[in-house]
Structure 1
Amino acid sequence: MARMIKKADLPKKICPSCGLAFEWRRKWAKDWNRVKFCSERCRRSKGSTPPKVISM
């Protein structure tokens, strides 16, 4: 049986286009190092709008 990985333990990145965090997905397993954007929409815009600033 495969070992279970908790969702909280998955690697995360920050999207340079929208500034939001996104997590690893199985479909990105082979090229996770090359993934830069959280979605196709962000990839197409490539920073045409400044990233959102999230304050806490």
Structure 2
Amino acid sequence: MAKMRKKGDLPEKACICCGRPFAWRKKWEKVWDEVKYCSDRCRTEAKRKERQG
């Protein structure tokens, strides 16, 4: 069985769109290095800004 961790002990990153910190999630376990955005909203906002120029 895996060792339990406290939420405060999980790694964090800052969202490149809004700058808010967000914590590691189990579903990002294999792609944590590739995660850039804290939410779908930030991801779509960044793509929208990219298209506008």
Q: Give yes or no for TM over 0.5.
A: yes
Task: Please indicate the TM-score interval, normalised by the length of the shorter structure.
Answer: 0.7 to 0.9
Taking CA–CA contacts closer than 8 Å with sequence separation of 6 or more, which of the two structures ends up with the larger relative contact order?
A: 1
User: 1:46: Cα distance to partner?
Assistant: 1.1
The structure with more helix, counted as a fraction of residues = 2
- 1:21 equivalent in structure 2: 21
What residue ranges of structure 2 are gaps of 5+ in the alignment? none
**Number of corresponding residues:** 48
Q: Which runs of 4+ in 1 moved over 2 A?
A: none
What residue ranges of structure 1 are gaps of 5+ in the alignment? 49-56
TM-score, normalised on structure 1? 0.77
Provide the identity percentage: 54
TM-score, normalised on structure 2? 0.80
Q: Deviations over 1:5-41 (max 9, x none)?
A: 1111100000011111000000000100000000011
Q: Give the Cα separation in 2 of the matches to 1:12 and 1:27.
A: 14
